[in-house]
With several copies, the nearest count.
Chain A
């Protein structure tokens, strides 16, 4: 069985997280753009006489499918590499996965990773 580890991180930490995961042995991942809302506040913009606040902050989402037993370590690796210690560093969470398939071959399960 496998897990899906999802991390929401600061965009400029992506490179380091990717390297750290690769070093750990992860061979694939999926990355996408997101916006975060949290303790870290957005900013204020002024548009010709009107002021408004933007409370969403650019983030990057990383998703990694891993074998059950690797989930805690992978979580740790992401947390470690993404951490700057400042508010807004993000979250990592783990969700159970019931089946995985590799599209190219149709393989299932752990072999599909």
Chain B
């Protein structure tokens, strides 16, 4: 098949944009925790980048998009292990082209989705999880929960338009409402319950230590999301353009939805609210980016911002410590987006004269995704709890997980940590002082 250079350029860019989202998330989350655990928070994202980035080329692609589907649930991990098997590279080493795009570009693009999805979950267990356990979790979860879901929805599996529900109506998940957001949001809920609450939850404020970082993170997420959604059009064309405009409009409307809601309820429009509204709008538009009109996208963003603003309070009511509101933002807005497609889709939505079928099928795939994700995550989480354990010691949690686990503090504090200099160097010689080092040693 012939190469479409324009498409390929766009997909290379899209992959780069989505890759940037995970560090963006690290900043978004990192700014939101207290100063004593920002590094650990960011390391959960960077750790996921390390593990999932390697795992994806080994068996992730094969399990998601391999040709040997196992009951529509996942594909054979060995078929294209290490990207072998002839579907990505031909025998002579040249790249295989499919629909104008080198398959290897698609591998890169898809890998970035796997990374960010796993990283999203980490917000639910901020400040308290063992780093080693998290690293093992990332490998297990991406393998057992993400790759199968990607296969089911996008790889021609159970929840795709080749699956059983498609007889009701073709399910719509443009860029990952189920695979990414409902999947991660549900996993976050389960993990928050299994790992348990932070010491002081509901009593101590635990406010964001650095809100400009949070806003920077939200901005990088927005920027990267263009690759996520408009890239999912798999074309440098009008559909990508529509997805682009819908994405941006929903993010804008998400800001307004969240700010208006909190202004009315609390009397203040906060910067944390603006940043959160951006993400809520973006999450909601993700499954719908190609199916709505821009005005529909604005409406969806507005609703998602408002609903998420209300939903983040639920954790206090029900007592689970979803520390950075992965449930309130990703699960809730992911559901809002996935289900409202049934109303707002210009092709088949209730508001546009469609039947109720689309709504039903959207609710169904959302439900199935929740159940699957919840069940798989519960098994993994409990297994890890019983073996490696999830929690750092209480002293480490109170004193700060950054120092305890990573042996670092995020910021230099003069008169604080950077003070003693008994640096024990391997074989540091008596270090003959250079010309400039003579004075000040007075007395």
Contacts and interface: CB of A to CB of B under 8 A. Distances in A.
Are A and B part of the same complex?
A: yes
B440 interface: yes
Contacts of B409: 45
B398 interface: yes
B407 A46 contact: yes
B419 A54 contact: yes
For chain A, which range describes its interface: under 10, 10 to 19, 20 to 34, or 35 or more residues?
20 to 34
B420 A52 contact: yes
A15 B421 contact: yes
B416 A56 contact: yes
Contacts of B403: 43
Interface string A9-33: 0011011001000000000000111
Contacts of B424: 51-52
A62 to B, nearest CB: 9
A9 B442 CA distance: 15
A45 B408 contact: yes
B427 to A, nearest CB: 12
A48 B268 contact: no
B417 interface: yes
Contact of B442 (A18, A50, A84): A84
Interface in B327-351: 328
Contacts of B272: 47-48
B436 interface: no
Nearest to B206: A47
For chain B, which range describes its interface: under 10, 10 to 19, 20 to 34, or 35 or more residues?
35 or more
B437 interface: no
A54 B418 contact: yes
Chain B interface, >50% SS class? loop
A56 B425 contact: no
Contacts, number: 102
A85 B205 CA distance: 25
B204 A15 contact: yes
User: Which of B204, B312, B398, B403 is the most central at the interface, judged by chain A CB atoms within 10 Å of its CB?
Assistant: B403
B440 A52 contact: no
A84 B442 CA distance: 5
Contacts of A18: 419-420
A80 interface: yes
A81 interface: yes
B30 to A, nearest CB: 16
B419 A56 contact: yes
Contact of B208 (A12, A47, A56, A80): A47
B417 A56 contact: yes
B266 A14 contact: no
A80 B208 CA distance: 30
A50 B423 contact: yes
B247 to A, nearest CB: 23
Interface string A64-93: 000000000000000011011100000000
A58 B398 contact: no
B262 interface: yes
A42 B206 CA distance: 17
B407 A43 contact: yes
Interface string B410-435: 00011111111111111000000000
Given A48-B325, A52-B423, A54-B416, 13 more contacts: A18-B419, A31-B419, A42-B417, A47-B207, A48-B312, A50-B205, A50-B313, A51-B266, A51-B425, A52-B207, A52-B421, A83-B443, A84-B442
20 contacts: A35-B416, A46-B270, A46-B407, A47-B207, A47-B272, A48-B272, A48-B312, A48-B313, A49-B314, A49-B426, A50-B313, A52-B207, A52-B421, A52-B424, A53-B422, A54-B416, A54-B419, A60-B414, A83-B443, A84-B443
Interface of B: 202, 204-208, 262, 266, 268, 270, 272-273, 276, 312-316, 325, 328, 398, 403, 407-409, 413-426, 440, 442-443
The 4 nearest A-B residue pairs measured at CB: A49-B313, A52-B423, A54-B417, A46-B266
